[in-house]
Amino acid sequence: MSVRTRPRQGPANAPFAPLGHDACDLPPYAPRIRGRLPAGLSGVLYRNGPGQFTRGGRTKRTILDGDGIIQRLALHNGAATYSRRFVQTPKFQAEAAAGRFLWPSWTTTAPGLTANLGQNVQGQAGVTVYQAGGKLMALDEVAPGFEIDPDTLATVGPVSLGLPQSDAGMKAHGRRLAATGDWLFASTRLGRAGMQIDVVRHGRDGSRTATPTVQLPRMTYLHDFGATERHAVFILHAVHFAPLKFLLGLSSFSQCLSWKPALGNVLLVIDLATGAARTFEAPPSWCWHIANCFEQGNALVVDFIGYDDAGHFLGPNAELAAIMRGHAGVQGAPGLLRRYVADLATGRLEAQVLADDAVEFCSADPRHAGAPHRRIFMAHGGSGAAGVAWQTAVAAFDTATGTLDCFDFGPTTHAGEPVFAAKPCGGQDEGYLLVQLLETERAASAFAVLDAQCLGDGPLAVIELEQRHPLSFHGMFVPGS
Ligand SMILES: [Fe+2]
């Protein structure tokens, strides 16, 4: 197994600032293409992420926090068409008209003495974009999500995921199960007894099936989850949420989170049919994202990216906040690709580190979601600065051989989450990775297209945008003719 130790270098020369700039709507245009797009690559890549960080002289506290802007990259017959458009949430429209922030968002308090009282955080629809149930949806972790026109990117209106209390506390990440094509969505909410979690299944036939509510053993923060046909899997990391200052309007939601390594992690496995929950103890590890999980016999396997601490996010000078002030801040421990193997028969859990490389934004071939996967695709810290927000490379970890296939775009290029686009009629992992780049020397963003099984060969094509685009979180490729 390939294990390399990558030093945590200070990103003194890393051009962080362009990642958090404000964006604007762009009508469709045909960007220039370096190289040649594969003839069989046809469809649309949608991406979502924050695009408005400043208003009225105030800046969001972290780079994770801003109004959602949807990107659309259509690929057909070797040509590309690009556009982007803000999600027209009521918050976005009212704040744009006022020229200032009016409401708190999840990491940032709003100006004014009373604006932050109670659970007054507004949704920004700025984390994920999914085509599910025939609708393109932009989601974040405050309800509601919004339906987006897949061609024009116009905001159609709010959507309901069918979670309790009008989707309150919904998770931005959903999970599509490859075997059935069903989708799972989840929410956490506060009750008198603490924190509860709900899961709802959207069947391909239009049905919606709720799993009985599960009481969480701790007050924490969850961003992602994993799923198989039988189970939903949550990594309850060693984080405590103390809501008092949030409810009094004295702190943002994220400022009420604290890293408590003594708690350790708990892997929560929920039976989707009955709501029966099992817990497995694990070492403390912050987790944003799960690549995939699957079951083999009594073993439940969960591949995810975990950090030995939450230094990059929690704390007054954490990297993801310091970026907004032009500083590197505290990077903390790097995110490493890890695996939990939970034995459903014995109740034991084995925790492994699969590769000692700084990585984020993991996924597997979506045709194997909830089933055994081979390659895990990730943004990789590359050979330069290894801050959590500044990856320069794309990598694939082969779980069969323990090897890493990697391509580094160089220290002046930021590489975001790779999105898998399957080759028509191709087998497992046969496809392309679409990677959004920020080419700082060109002062513009781009999309690289790589063969998902030969990343080390470098891009087959690079689609050069004419503008910069801020940090974009997540995307989905919708194949088409
Ligand atoms: Fe995410």
CB 291 within 8 A of CB 362: yes
Closest CA to 224 of 277, 291, 318, 309: 291
pTM of the model: 0.95
- Tokens standing for residue 65: 């926090």
Per-position b or e across 276-310, b if 16+ CB within 10 A of its CB? ebebbebebbbbbbbbbbbbeeeebbbbbbbbbbb
User: The CATH number of the domain where 133 resides is what?
Assistant: 2.120.10
Report CA(193)–ligand 1 centroid distance (Å): 27
Residue 61 lies in a domain: no
Determine the distance separating the centroid of ligand 1 and the alpha carbon of 64, expressed in angstroms: 10
Cβ contacts of 415 within 8 Å, gap of 6 or more: 379, 380, 382, 391, 392, 393, 394, 409, 435, 436, 437, 448
For ligand 1, the distance from its centroid to the CA atom of residue 49, given in whole angstroms, is: 10
Q: Which of 127, 135, 232 is nearest to 188 (CA)?
A: 232
Tally of domains within the chain: 1
Q: What is the pLDDT of residue 145?
A: 97
- Which pLDDT does position 18 carry in this prediction? 72
CA–CA separation, 151 and 319 (whole Å): 36
Query: From first to last of its 481 residues, what are the pLDDT tens digits of the chain?
Result: 333 334 333 333 344 567 888 999 999 999 999 999 999 999 999 999 999 999 999 999 999 999 999 999 999 999 999 999 999 999 999 999 999 999 999 999 998 878 888 778 999 999 999 999 999 999 999 999 999 999 999 999 999 999 999 999 999 999 999 999 999 999 999 877 899 999 999 999 999 999 999 999 999 999 999 999 999 999 999 999 998 888 888 999 999 999 999 999 999 999 999 999 999 999 999 999 999 999 999 999 999 999 999 999 999 899 999 988 888 889 999 999 999 999 999 999 999 999 999 999 999 999 999 999 999 999 999 876 556 778 999 999 999 999 999 999 998 899 999 999 999 989 999 999 999 999 999 999 999 999 999 999 999 999 999 999 998 999 999 999 6
Decide if 230 is inside a domain: yes
* 131, part of any domain: yes
Q: Is 97 inside a domain boundary?
A: yes
- Residue 10 has a pLDDT of 37
Q: Label residue 135 left, alpha or beta by phi (over 0 means left) and psi (-120 to 50 means alpha).
A: beta
Residue 250 DSSP label: S
Rounded to an integer, what distance in angstroms lies between the CA atom of residue 464 and that of residue 462? 6
Which residues are CB-neighbours of 462 under 8 A, at least 6 positions away?
A: 33, 34, 35, 437, 446, 447, 448, 449
DSSP string, 126-176: -SEEEEETTEEEEE-SSSPEEEE-TTT--EEEEE----HHHHTTB-S--EE
Q: Would you say residue 29 lies in a domain?
A: no
CA of 287 to the centre of ligand 1 (A): 10
Centroid of ligand 1 to alpha carbon of 335 (angstroms)? 14
Alpha helix locations (H) across 242-332?
244-247, 319-322
Instruction: Decide if 236 is inside a domain.
Output: yes
Tell me whether residue 30 is in a domain.
Answer: no
107 C-alpha to center of ligand 1: Å?
15
Domain that holds residue 88: 84-415
246 occurs within a structural domain: yes
Alpha carbon of 115 to ligand 1 centroid (Å): 27
What spacing in Å lies between the alpha carbon of 224 and ligand 1's midpoint? 7
Burial grade of 354 (CB within 10 A; 0-12, 13-18, 19 or more): buried
Residue for token digits 């002046």?
A: 412
